[in-house]
Structure 1
Amino acid sequence: MEIKKNPKSNLENFSKIFMQIGLVLALFVAYAAIEQKTYDKTYGDLGTVNMNAEMEEDIPITERVEPVKPNTPPPPTPEKIEIVKDEKEVVETVIETTETDETKAVKVTEIVEIDEGEEVIEDVSFMIIEDVPVFPGCKGSKEELKDCFSQMVQKHFSRKFDAELPNELGLSSGRKRVFIGFKIDKNGNIVNVQARGPHPKIEDEVIKVMKQLPKMKPGRQRGKPVGVKYSIPFTLVVE
């Protein structure tokens, strides 16, 4: 086979030479860069500034004005103190002791007893009275007498009250509450009857009915007859 190219034109024969030349150039550039010197830039002399120089300021001279004090009157002259000789005799007050001597007899005046009068006990509530008022015909213990009293008052009201009165007055249908209060005095009589209801005529009818309650055995507090307050509500049904 014939070689078409000239062996002198083959570059592969010079590759080692080219590599050595490149290494030499690289080393030269590195050396030149290391050996290069640089200098700081210098500027013209701007002068020096003395920061410690004191600043001088012109301060105007002013005169101090004293405040004018108001004219105050001079203090009053002290009164003359006269020294008086203590020539008068002082009479001392002798306080006698109130203690008694056991050896001496003591006179005792007559002791007069003062009548303080009868103790007044005010009206007592029916709920806390010691001995409750007794409705005629009721018997038993204190609690039984209380229950019997309330039941007999309700029966008396239902029997005596005019049930047609609420309808005659034209009241609206429904349940109407009536509150009744009265007192059983020391003699067992019914007094101070009060009523509060939906109409004045109903209140008058209630008062008239409750005044017809029979005489009772009065209640007692500490063994003495006293007035007893009693109150009870009623319900009226208006059709």
Structure 2
Amino acid sequence: MEIKKNPKSNLENYSKIFMQIGLVLALFVTYAAIENKTYDKVIGDLGTVSMNADMEEETVITEKIEPIKPKTPPPPAPEKIEIVEDEKEVEETVIESTETDETEAVEVEEIVEIQEVEEVVEDVSFMIIEDVPVFPGCKGSKNELKACFSKMVQKHFSRKFDANLPNELGLSSGRKRVFIGFKIDKNGNIVDVNARAPHPKIKSEVISVMKQLPKMKPGKQRGKPVGVKYSIPFTLIVE
């Protein structure tokens, strides 16, 4: 005898429903797990510490209390007040005015004018003068003016000096040295001529010749005319 099952009690007929219910439950558990909030475990509350608090030390203000001095009692009032009549005349003080009247003569101290002392520049040597004296007709630079000056002085001496004088004086034959010195003053004139020669007459002749030099443009030192000293040797040939 075969036992037959009731078709309603067959669970295979409900497999789809069970599967759908399982999916719904799985989704619900997943959603609940996601939405569940967890919190960290807190151990006590130690309070809040402010790191921006001022680190200044507390300043103790001390005030010096001075002892209170006793007040000086007022002077005692006079027992009797006497009224004294003002018999003395008060002298009035007269303040004199310091303003002067137009008609009044005013004494004025004499003003002494101080004259400026002009700087005195001593005579300068021809070799170191800043601006050399200029012989008439000379042109060019400072070095050219120096060379031209010496050349023109020698030319003047050779032309004016009496070459026969040494022979007339009976000097021994040979070369004779003559040293000449003079100064060109601030106005360009030839002054202080001196000479050293082998004979007094030759010395006189040399001085006379050098005094005949023409007037020149004076030399200058620091832009001011000064006296310029010049010296030159000459050689005389005695036959």
What TM-score does the superposition give when structure 2 sets the normalisation length? 0.52
How far, CA to CA, are the matches of 2:144 and 2:186 in structure 1?
21
CA drift at 1:117? 1.3
Cα RMSD (Å): 1.3
Q: Residues 202-213 of structure 1: matches in 2 within 5 Å?
A: 202-213=202-213
Aligned residues: 128
Q: Residue 173 of structure 2 corresponds to which residue in structure 1? A: 173
* Paired AA for residue 201 in structure 2: K
How far, CA to CA, are the matches of 1:210 and 1:113 in structure 2?
45
* Paired AA for residue 179 in structure 1: F
Q: Deviations over 1:158-189 (max 9, x none)?
A: 00000000000000000000000000000000
Q: Residues 126-205 of structure 1: matches in 2 within 5 Å?
A: 126-205=126-205
CA drift at 1:113? 9.2
Q: Is 1:219 aligned with 2:219? A: yes
* Paired AA for residue 123 in structure 1: D
How far, CA to CA, are the matches of 2:200 and 2:114 in structure 1?
52
How far, CA to CA, are the matches of 1:114 and 1:128 in structure 2?
35
How far, CA to CA, are the matches of 1:139 and 1:194 in structure 2?
28
Question: Which 4+ residue blocks in structure 1 deviate beyond 3 angstroms?
Answer: 112-116
Q: Secondary structure at the match of 1:201?
A: helix
What TM-score does the superposition give when structure 1 sets the normalisation length? 0.52
Q: Residue 238 of structure 1 corresponds to which residue in structure 2? A: 238
Q: Residues 42-191 of structure 1: matches in 2 within 5 Å?
A: 115-191=115-191
How far, CA to CA, are the matches of 1:129 and 1:218 in structure 2?
11
How far, CA to CA, are the matches of 2:141 and 2:115 in structure 1?
37
Unmatched segments (≥5 aa) in structure 1? 1-111
Q: Deviations over 1:9-53 (max 9, x none)?
A: xxxxxxxxxxxxxxxxxxxxxxxxxxxxxxxxxxxxxxxxxxxxx
How far, CA to CA, are the matches of 1:164 and 1:115 in structure 2?
56
CA drift at 1:116? 3.7
* Paired AA for residue 203 in structure 2: E
Q: Deviations over 1:72-125 (max 9, x none)?
A: xxxxxxxxxxxxxxxxxxxxxxxxxxxxxxxxxxxxxxxx99544110001000
| Percentage identity across paired residues of the two chains | 88
* Paired AA for residue 146 in structure 1: K
